[in-house]
């Protein structure tokens, strides 16, 4: 077959199926309904964050501050309710602060033209610090009476499927619709493929970039609410964890090229499943935390190298027009 070409998506799918098969055969207790549901439940929040990251990465950016958006606005919601404010008020304030956070990120990147990596690194630290210094009384913000009724977001199940997975599914559908079926989605892909050409074509590049970061912050906040309601608290120290690396791992491993303009929700799902299987099998094998990090590091490295090889941007093609 002359026209046969493997896409990154197919490679990831094959790797996932292989890993899943190996785990099912060799690991006791892997292939049980309970374990699979636990696996999915554990990675649901990661998957939702992966969707937020995907929107930004497709537009050829990166959002390191995502974990701050996950921790601070939901933490604020829980804290306000503790103080006795009503739940709707707290949630609208939380969403409001997430939007402002996204606007600041977007403005820095689109208008002040700070590289996204550095801009979000700085704003993430600032935002997390702001939360820890002024907003929260304790590092873990506890669930309080006023929140009751809200835990359905992360607890219980719908038709046998745990709620976090349902939420991941809903988020997937919403983001897939945005990326594939709307004008804004088409703009995001265009900006990721070629920013200069988007500009010359008349696409409002800067507003769309800002919108990307606002969406990312809102989805991050949503992930935080799901997380908080499933564990009945908001552990704000999560900011200092290595969660953000897992999110990048999901996106890159799933096959959304860091060079932008490629991939979609299906890649996030694949990446999430792959990471979920990996983490779950390592837990079953009882690998120490340090060894798990080592392993994740190696996988991320391989994924990034594969990304560079599969989506090259070399000089030969860059100079094509100049004969």
Partner 1 sequence: MTDTVISLEKATKLYSGVAAIEDIDFDLWRGEIHALVGENGAGKSTLTKVMAGVVTLSSGTMKIDGKEAAPSTPLEARHLGVAMVFQENSLVPTMTVAQNLFLGQERYFNRLRGINIAAQQFLQSLNFDVSPTAVVDTLGAAKKQMVEIARAVLHKAKVIIFDEPTASLTPEERKYFFDLVRNLKGRGVSIIFISHALEEALELADRITVLRDSKAVVTDDAANFDRARIVKAMVGRDLSDTLYGTKKTTVRRAGKRVLTIQNLKMAPMVKNNSLSVFAGQVTGVFGLVGAGRTETFKIVAGVIKRDFFHGGEVILHQKPVRYRVPAPAIKAGIAYITEDRKAEGFFETFSIARNIYLGLLAKFPKGRAILSKREQTQAGSNWIERLNVRAIGDAAKMIELSGGNQQKVVIAKSLVQEPDIIIFDEPTRGVDVGAIEEIHELINRLADEGKAVVMISSYLPEVMGLSDRILVSRQGKVVEELSALEATEEKIMYAAIH
* Contact set with partner 1 (CB under 8 A): 180-187, 189-190, 193-194, 196-206, 261-262, 316-318, 320-323
The phi and psi torsions of 274 (rounded to 5 degrees) equal -60, -50
> Closer to partner 1 at the Cβ: 84 or 183?
183
The C-alpha atoms of residue 91 and residue 60 are separated, in whole angstroms, by: 31
The C-alpha atoms of residue 235 and residue 63 are separated, in whole angstroms, by: 21
Provide the minimum distance between the beta carbon of 58 and partner 1 in the complex, in angstroms, as a whole number: 11
Provide the minimum distance between the beta carbon of 318 and partner 1 in the complex, in angstroms, as a whole number: 7
> Closer to partner 1 at the Cβ: 205 or 275?
205
The tokens describing 232, both together, are 């009945």
Provide the minimum distance between the beta carbon of 291 and partner 1 in the complex, in angstroms, as a whole number: 38
The tokens describing 78, both together, are 């829980």
> Closer to partner 1 at the Cβ: 190 or 247?
190
Is the CB of residue 102 less than 8 Å from the CB of residue 214? yes
> Closer to partner 1 at the Cβ: 71 or 203?
203
Is the CB of residue 280 less than 8 Å from the CB of residue 39? yes
| Secondary structure letter of residue 135 according to DSSP | I
Provide the minimum distance between the beta carbon of 198 and partner 1 in the complex, in angstroms, as a whole number: 8
Sign, CA torsion 33/238/100/52? negative
> CB 314: neighbour CB atoms within 10 A?
7
Nearest 10 degrees: Cα torsion 93, 243, 187, 113:
80
Provide the minimum distance between the beta carbon of 186 and partner 1 in the complex, in angstroms, as a whole number: 6
**In a 10 Å sphere around its CB, with 0-12 CB exposed, 13-18 middle and 19+ buried, how is residue 169 labelled?**
middle
Residue with tokens 């969403």: 95
> Closer to partner 1 at the Cβ: 62 or 203?
203
Provide the minimum distance between the beta carbon of 33 and partner 1 in the complex, in angstroms, as a whole number: 39
> Closer to partner 1 at the Cβ: 154 or 185?
185
> Closer to partner 1 at the Cβ: 132 or 194?
194
The tokens describing 301, both together, are 């490295």
Provide the minimum distance between the beta carbon of 3 and partner 1 in the complex, in angstroms, as a whole number: 10
Provide the minimum distance between the beta carbon of 116 and partner 1 in the complex, in angstroms, as a whole number: 20
What's the distance, CA 233 to chain centroid? 20
Per-residue b or e along 214-239, where b marks 16 or more CB atoms closer than 10 Å to that residue's CB: bbbbbbbbbbbbbbbbbeebbebebb
> Closer to partner 1 at the Cβ: 125 or 195?
195
């Amino acid at each position: 077959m002359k026209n046969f070409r493997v896409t990154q998506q197919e490679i990831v799918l094959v790797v996932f199926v292989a890993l899943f098969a190996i785990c099912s055969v060799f690991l006791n207790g892997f292939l049980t309904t309970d374990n699979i549901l636990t696996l999915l439940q554990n990675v649901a929040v990661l998957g939702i964050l992966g969707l937020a990251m995907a929107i930004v990465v497709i537009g050829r950016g990166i959002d390191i501050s995502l974990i701050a958006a996950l921790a601070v606005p939901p933490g604020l919601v829980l804290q306000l309710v503790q103080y006795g404010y009503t739940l709707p008020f707290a949630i609208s304030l939380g969403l409001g602060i997430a939007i402002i956070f996204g606007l600041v990120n977007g403005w820095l990147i689109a208008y002040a033209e700070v590289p996204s990596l550095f801009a979000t690194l700085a704003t993430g630290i600032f935002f997390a610090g702001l939360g820890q210094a002024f907003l929260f009384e304790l590092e873990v913000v506890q669930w309080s009476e006023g929140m009751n009724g809200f835990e359905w977001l992360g607890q219980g199940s719908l038709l046998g499927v745990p709620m976090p997975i349902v939420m991941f599914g809903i988020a997937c559908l919403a983001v897939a619709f945005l990326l594939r079926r709307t004008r804004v989605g088409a703009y995001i892909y265009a900006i990721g493929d070629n920013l200069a050409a988007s500009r010359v074509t008349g696409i409002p590049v800067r507003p769309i970039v800002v919108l990307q970061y606002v969406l990312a912050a809102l989805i991050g906040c949503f992930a935080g609410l799901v997380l908080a309601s499933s564990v009945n608290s908001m552990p704000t120290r999560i900011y200092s964890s290595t969660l953000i690396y897992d999110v990048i791992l999901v996106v890159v491993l799933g096959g959304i090229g860091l060079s932008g303009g490629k991939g979609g929700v299906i890649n996030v799902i694949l990446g999430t499943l792959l990471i979920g299987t990996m983490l779950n099998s390592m837990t079953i094998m009882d690998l120490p935390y340090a060894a798990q990090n080592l392993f994740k590091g190696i996988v991320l490295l391989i994924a990034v190298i594969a990304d560079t090889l599969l989506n090259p941007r070399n000089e030969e093609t860059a100079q094509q027009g100049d004969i």
